Amino acid sequence: MENTILGLHHITAIAGNAQRNFDFYTKTLGLRLVKKTVNFDDPGTYHLYYGDEIGHAGTILTFFPWDGIGQGTEGVGMATEIGYAVPEGSLDFWKERFNEAKVKTAGLTERFGEQLLTFKDPDGLSLSLIVPETEDLRKPWETSEVKAEHATKGFHSTTLNLQRIDETAKVLTDIFGYRLLKQEGNRYRFVTDAVKTAAIVDLLENPGGNRGRNAAGTNHHVAFRVSNEEVQMEFREKIRSKNLNITPKIDRDYFYSLYFREPGGVLFEIATDNPGFTVDEPLNELGTHLKLPRQHEHLRAELDQLLPKIN
């Protein structure tokens, strides 16, 4: 099954204040900062990666924190919810924890027979904690306050908000190998059988919806996982054959990337497993150093002064 899409690789979003973002995801939500680097195209801005201990594909949520960027607007043409899998019986813990931390929640609800708790991060990004129908056996990252019996396991799903789902669904089924699992109202659940986790994409059909605007509190792109560059380039040819514009392969230091915009407007990425986050830091030091792309290393002294300090 390695020559196929292996579910979600990572999701990238936009934040405002970097310290506030770090505090929420590492302290409140209990994720590990696995890489502190900079935006390749704007090195005066951080690129922060949060995930499990080693930063396995399917656990990685990344952020571009631009202080003062202003509030974005969720809408059609973008991913509008990120779902994390959590253990059965953990939602009461999270509900109490979020209440104490004054995190905005919409309360407990149910979707496709699974319990979930939806909430917003400090910038207004929409997330949910979901108890999956089948137990998620991934080993979570633990903190002193968030232990394994409650901790997130990695992605459960993401939701794409679209005016019409037809053409996006074709990308998922005809190119990526997903299948329609079930429908609930205007929400259509697609799943890949290639992996057991981070395997779900929900398409929300919203014909009258307004287009979203990317800024703080919105998702920038959704990355799908492949095992290596050879498989990645096979998918590049498949995508080109459907008359979709796709970038050349780009070296992102920790994985290789291709980008294309699917017909519904969402920016998709195809990212490789290799080489991973330990390529420039040992496992026990992940996220503790500022790592710069090779082309920006000469700016280190300047960036040390320019980038906001994260404590």
**Which tens digit of pLDDT belongs to each residue from 8-32?**
999 999 999 999 999 999 999 999 9
The pLDDT score that the predictor gives to residue 3 is 87
Condensed to tens digits (0 to 9), the pLDDT of residues 255-282 reads 999 999 999 999 999 999 999 999 999 9
Please give the average per-residue pLDDT across 116-120, as a whole number. 98
Query: Which tokens is 133 given?
Result: 């129908």
- For residue 176, give every residue at least 6 positions away whose Cβ sits within 8 Å of its Cβ, in sequence order, or none: 4, 5, 192, 224
Q: What does the pLDDT average to over 117-142?
A: 97
Tokens of 191: 């799943």
Band the pLDDT of 2: cuts 50, 70, 90. Answer: confident
The whole-angstrom separation of Cα 244 and Cα 236 is 10
Q: Enumerate the β-bridge partners of residue 162.
A: 205
CATH architecture of 8-306: Roll (3.10)
Name the CA dihedral angle for 127, 133, 138, 143, rounded to a multiple of 10 degrees: 50
Which candidate, 226, 275, 217, places its Cα nearest to that of 251?
Answer: 275
Residue 157 has pLDDT above 80, yes or no: yes
Residue 144 burial (C-beta neighbours within 10 Å; 0-12, 13-18, 19+): exposed
Dump pLDDT digits (tens) for 65-100. 999 999 999 999 999 999 999 999 999 999 999 999
Cα 276 versus chain centre, distance: 16
Rounding to the nearest 10 degrees, give the CA dihedral for residues 109, 114, 115, 117: -70
pLDDT band per the 50, 70, 90 thresholds, residue 42: very high
Question: 112: how many CB neighbours lie within 10 A of its CB?
Answer: 16
As a whole-number percent, the residues of the chain with pLDDT over 90 amount to: 99
Q: What is the pLDDT of residues 172-186, one digit of tens each?
A: 999 999 999 999 999
Among 187, 157, 192, 158, which residue's Cα sits nearest to residue 79?
Answer: 158
Residue 31's closest CA among 95, 134, 121?
Answer: 121
Q: Which residue has the tokens 């090779």?
A: 294
List, in sequence order, every beta strand (DSSP E) within 7-153.
Answer: 8-15, 32-38, 46-51, 60-65, 78-85, 105-111, 114-120, 126-130
The pLDDT of residue 107 is above 90: no
Q: How confident is the model at residue 290 (pLDDT cuts 50, 70, 90)?
A: very high
Q: pTM for this structure?
A: 0.97
Residue extents of the structural domains in the chain: 8-306
Tokens of 92: 């009461």
pLDDT above 90 for 1: no
